[in-house]
Chain A
């Protein structure tokens, strides 16, 4: 187990390092922030001077090594756009994204899994059909559209919920639903398929033959066995939520790292982008490792193969 964890950790570090390098190269090849910083009437000499002062006229490999050297000292650099340490900028926005992702995950799991169970066990009933319609809607409506629709209906027309911003708890409702909708559908479908799959197995028939009710079988045995694919999905969904947050945070003016990522890429604020990339790849890797480890706990039949 320990060996396995170490092995996964090394893979993770290599993966993060690779992502970091690719992003560094791509960002630097497509221009630097100098042109975006200067007023439009700046002369070529002025631009060259500022570029030199900011260090963007150095060869890219030197800038890269310099950046890596900083990282070894846990120095993530100072944003040239905001003149504040890049780490501070990201750290101040991270809680908002965590809050939003938690809200969305709550929506996704809290609605998706029960919906999946109902759809699997009460097949061909009216309620299952209604749920199926909701799931398909959640899956097919693009988030930017559902977000605007939510704002229009519940914000502008009914005036039940605030239209943007963070702060009050009520401000979290619409972004969480808009962000969680897609994941909710994924959870519902996966749960439904996994349960239907399990329901066709011999142990279910044997249990029924012994007089157990469907409810007892589902809650005692089927759910546990069906949870493996659902856990895999959950791990992937956390990554998807972070990606979806980019759009949702922009529409709802939610001050998380998704919105920050967009702005920083647009303004070529390299150092802030790098911190965000580091963070997101870290989360991705961490959740997938965590999912692997949880399998073992849930299903002792899974043995780690070296």
Chain B
């Protein structure tokens, strides 16, 4: 009888234990707008792809929540000289097939992505690297073509792939069945539908927070929100500001917003059309009520900026003041330039918020210009925007992030003459940003960028509008702090009952 009672008690306790286990979250489901295009981390660099594959792979370096570059696979690094950097590599990391990660894998990863034969779209992020060599099993030497201060920021984006496995299965198979050293391994990739990941038990940073992670492709934002509200998804990306309150008011969901390094900006053509006249460009700057845009269209999820850059970037300066909202001054400048009624073409595509584009159109029209919106698909838009100045329209809205948190990744490609985006030439400006990308002294670089931003302020080849906040919808119990570089690492999340 006693044993009978004991066994019943044991059974009851086991039952309780098993329900307790069932209560912890086993599978985390994340809705993304699209499926990953490739899972080979050295191929596609778009948000949906790297959101998935960076949970499968580790990077050489990473950023902490404050945005500082910190060790991941590399433990320490020292500059031997301006063009040579030596990394120490962890020796306790294994790939998901159990094999050890060594300096050879790091060298292979760097040399693979800079090899033109891979046809990697990411090549431009790493093309300043001349070569990588293994000194011993835990030491790697990276040589750049010239002194290159953004190298560490770029290496934050480099995933480490297993040399032996990639060489064995080949590039095509590796893309379909990727294998990394990250917290999650691939179980099944249902292309276009979902990517199923499973925790890697021997992960060097400890047990991942969820046993399984599913990334689903859900293109329509209303559907993503419906998924979240019904519990079909636990985390969704790209919530438009006007839907934010509906997630905050729902008992089972919440809104997560993160200030990012992304900056919403207006490009203004300084080389062709009515905007070639400096007064017209300045008039546009005076005509736009940035705070009004943030309040009315972003529902406050954004912060007006004075420069083409947001606070989390290196080179950000608060000393350069923007143009105040002054419609009278704007109208006066347009009049002085004799540009009243002049037609300014505003290029855009469905990738950019139409309401914002129309609000800017309205504001600039009130200054006396005649803004016409030309909307085309993204490929056509880019072709014109990046093509010759004469056909590149007068203005365009953009939201820029280099995911490198450095002014070099923003104002160099946007405004350095000769860059595909620049419709502007100022030799003094070119000299400043050229120098800033080839020296390593941080204080000097900051001073150079402050001067460069001052020139941009005067010449207005573009206008910083606001710092973008990334908006995510999440289940109430999900604990996670979004980061400035819009990375989505499941390892940083947790579930609280």
Contact = CB atoms under 8 A, between A and B. Distances in A.
Interface string A73-102: 000000001111000010011000000000
A81 B219 CA distance: 18
Given A32-B379, A39-B124, A166 B119 contact: no
Given A40-B413, A81-B44, A35 B382 contact: yes
Contacts of B230: 155-156, 159, 162-163
Nearest to B118: A53
A255 B193 contact: yes
Contacts of B421: 40
B377 A93 contact: no
A83 B175 contact: yes
B344 interface: no
B38 A82 contact: yes
Interface residues of A, number: 51
Interface stretch (B63-71, B197-205, B220-228, B467-475): B220-228
Interface in A253-276: 253, 255, 259-260, 262-263, 265-268
Given A31-B383, A39-B122, A253 B43 contact: no
Contact of A163 (B116, B223, B378): B223
Contact of A50 (B121, B229, B400, B412): B121
A113 B402 CA distance: 57
Given A82-B37, A83-B38, A38 B121 contact: yes
Interface stretch (A17-25, A41-49, A64-72, A294-302): A41-49
A36 B382 contact: yes
A164 interface: yes
Nearest to A46: B124
Given A36-B382, A47-B420, A54-B119, A263 B222 contact: no
A104 B356 CA distance: 38
Contacts of A193: none
A39 B45 contact: yes
B19 interface: no
Contacts of B229: 156
Interface in B223-258: 223, 226-227, 229-230, 232
Given A41-B412, A49-B116, A268 B218 contact: no
Interface residues of B, number: 52
A259 B191 CA distance: 12
B217 interface: yes
B192 interface: yes
B123 interface: yes
Contact of A253 (B176, B220, B413): B220
A166 B190 CA distance: 11
Contacts of A251: 220, 222-223
Contacts of B218: 164-165, 253
The 5 closest A-B pairs by CB, nearest first: A31-B379, A42-B124, A253-B218, A37-B121, A163-B226
28 contacts: A30-B377, A30-B383, A31-B380, A31-B382, A36-B379, A37-B121, A39-B124, A40-B413, A40-B421, A43-B413, A47-B420, A82-B37, A83-B40, A83-B175, A84-B176, A151-B222, A156-B226, A162-B230, A163-B232, A164-B216, A164-B218, A164-B223, A164-B232, A251-B220, A251-B223, A253-B216, A259-B192, A266-B377
Interface of B: 34, 37-38, 40, 43-45, 116, 119, 121-125, 127, 171-172, 175-176, 190-194, 216-220, 222-223, 226-227, 229-230, 232, 377-380, 382-383, 386, 400, 402, 409, 412-413, 418-421
